[in-house]
Structure 1
């Protein structure tokens, strides 16, 4: 599909201005131009001008690859720096021809020579002129604005919400007013949150404060009322009442009588009771602590306490919680002073006898036990013979020149540690000779088998026949011509070895 671009000029030769590299290029159309457009795309028809110092365009040199000016369609929704938009052709998918409705002139930039027209209403450039579209856009925008003097607003105008406490000419929106009223009410009940309700509550009395003050002047204060001319009375509450009801003198006297009860006269006041307790505010704690240091009553202790104490007397029990005393002699005191059974035995001049338990037979001469004896307390004195628990030899011995007493392992140099050891005889664990020997020219140290090839002169032998083989090894035979003893030469025979020729 194609679009023909022509000039509005009656002669068909319009002109336009294009800025190229800060240079204004004037382009004049001398004939109509046909431009190809694509279906399913927005085709922006642009006028492009090219200029660069020192570069020849097709205007001065037809062979140049740089076109001085051209009109073509762009579909990438961009306009180059050296281009101006002439119109837009919006072709829907499936269209087969371009219609008038597809051509949009809204975005066209009209530029006369030396003047650029712009649709922008916010431009500050002096060399741009406003198009009628820009003027109309600005006019429509002004119509939507309210005058500064006594504006009449419609719809739902809004304004910033001032902070509470603001007192100025700033506009108060509904949020500000609502917050101010809420702060004024400050949680008042629903029945008293309007001025009308409050006025009704004070009986619509504009002098409510004076009226109330005059009425209060005729009343006695509830706190510490002072009645100098009369004796006020009140109902007497029943005993046990515990409330804010006034207590009459009768109620107080009855309460005191109930408190004193039948206490003796010497203890019927708090002062007398305090004196009886030693003026101790912690009397109960004092008594508890004092009793904690006492021995509880016990029948056995009571029986012991009933004894008449005396020197050298020993108490003893004759029955349950029944005690008596007996004399304690100096011998008895000495025995009680001993700290061990052995000391008691020695004091009494006794010796232990027996063969069982913890008793050890008294041995004045050699004796033999038929069974093993266990001594838990150890044995004191000299012992002879072998001891199962001995940890070392009585007399140390030397092994390979190293002292050994059995108390620790020893190391033998040249045996289990590095060193020299003078050892003679056969070693059962030897695996090779210390010094290798030659056997028929072959090294032998005993660590493995060896093969020895022998060369044996056999002299005169009977010739071998058939598959008969000679002895293993290398052998030399004499060969005779015709008959013995005239030798013809020697023959070498080899078996069991490989040979290289």
Structure 2
């Protein structure tokens, strides 16, 4: 090992120079004959310009051939990511996409021309290959036409025939007086058959007969059913030509005239239909307090019982009167309807003993019981008001235990 701790003014000996030269020669021989990278050593190119270096580990290390090739191979593997052999090159991918540089736009435009399964509007006809076989299948027009209505007014005409395969001019009409028809009339009807489950004509059926023209006599909408191969009788569905509401009452036409449904008459009885037991007190002659209301069920009569008094004895009386739209004053008609709460005070109503519909009056300061029969000539609501006394009088009129009693008899 050559001397390294030289001092100033120290004389260099020939042996020292020889040692330095020997070490230089040994290092040169070591570099010339290197077959692997040597840590901490100088690197010298060989005759072909190649040098031996270790595999890099840090970002600023020199890369060797092996590390570069390994990095390239890893990148290609990640790009292919297990693709099948037929699609693991860019050429193969381009061919699979039809060499279309606008492939995404082409696919988007093609999808836009298709029917959306979530719902869409078609501009052309959808042609089906045949008749449906499952409930979820779409049906062709011919299939639907074959399932509804008689095909003709010629040939063997029978409302019990639901196969819809009779010969003729293909008219969808049958006369009411055809075999097993709904009415004894020459009027035409559209027959409709709605079949459950089988859809073959052999199942349970609901059948409708819809008139071709309501102006023909004997027409109307009829229906019947076939259950377990047995037909029921025809039932007529009522229309405005058969039933109406007149003055709040339901009426039907029996062929000779309009009849009120039920045909009952209201008569006084001990049956309490409505009761207003709460004591109500009101002061004033030119105003009235609504204390009761009811809607008649039938024309006739009802009994109204109640207790009435004026709080103190005097020259003015407490009055209970009844109103409805046929006998009430205009102010009552506009100020009160069936929605008005009981206890509402209405101004401009003259509640006096001279009123034509006064049911009772009392001026002695004691409770007095009344039982009055009230005639009902309309089915409009009837309203009851209490009032009385003079203008500015502080003495109230009082009523309690109002009961409306009646029965409806045939």
TM over 0.5: no
Quick one: higher RCO (CA 8 Å, sep 6+), 1 or 2?
2
- Pick the structure with greater CA Rg: 1
TM-score, normalised with respect to structure 2: 0.24
| TM-score, scaled relative to structure 1 | 0.21
Bigger strand share: 2
